[in-house]
Amino acid sequence: MNRREFELLFKRLYLPLGMYALRLVGDIDQAEDLVQEAFLKSWREVDEGKEISDFKSWIYRCVRNECISFLRGKREMADVEEIPEAGEEAIDTSERDARIWRAVDGLPEKCREIFLMSKRDGMTGEEIASELGISIKTVKNQMTKALSRLRQALSEGHKPFFLPFL
């Protein structure tokens, strides 16, 4: 594997791995640090000539191991040993989560803000309208726009996509 191939894998897998690590450690900054550390160690091994036949599975194991090392310093060993292997289900879930966050990030700024206030923060339409100084009708229109764009973005090239937060 050359540097360019590694960079492409990094760009493709970074966000899903971050979502996976976040589920394990529960802290977004720490999850990001752990994924970066796993990629750094991986690059060192690849650069030294290590052949990796299934890089995706291998890097998920590396991230899992980084998370376990981190958790060992924070929790009792019993908790750490309950972390399952990074199987297909965990990989699929993190890739799905990454697709969702990419799609949300692609929304227009005001639309994204209203969507996140509703879905992430649990605010009602009335609360959002009051907070932002806009009408409830504008909130509803922006939510309709957000959901439509998310469905479209998430279904491109995939079977129909179910948004778990709807």
Q: Which residues fall within 8 angstroms of residue 31, CB to CB, at 6 or more apart? A: 18, 21, 22, 24, 25, 67
The answer to whether 31 and 18 are in contact (CB under 8 A) is yes
Average pLDDT, whole number, for the chain? 83
Domain 3-96: which topology?
A: Rna Polymerase Sigma Factor; Chain: A (1.10.1740)
Q: Give the integer Cα–Cα distance in Å for 14 and 20.
A: 10
For the chain, domain boundaries: 3-96, 106-155
The answer to whether 87 and 56 are in contact (CB under 8 A) is no
Q: Which pTM does this prediction carry?
A: 0.60
pLDDT in tens, 22-77: 888 888 899 999 999 999 999 898 888 888 888 888 999 999 999 988 888 775 44
Give the residue-averaged pLDDT of 112-138.
Answer: 91
Write down the architecture of domain 106-155 according to CATH.
Orthogonal Bundle (1.10)
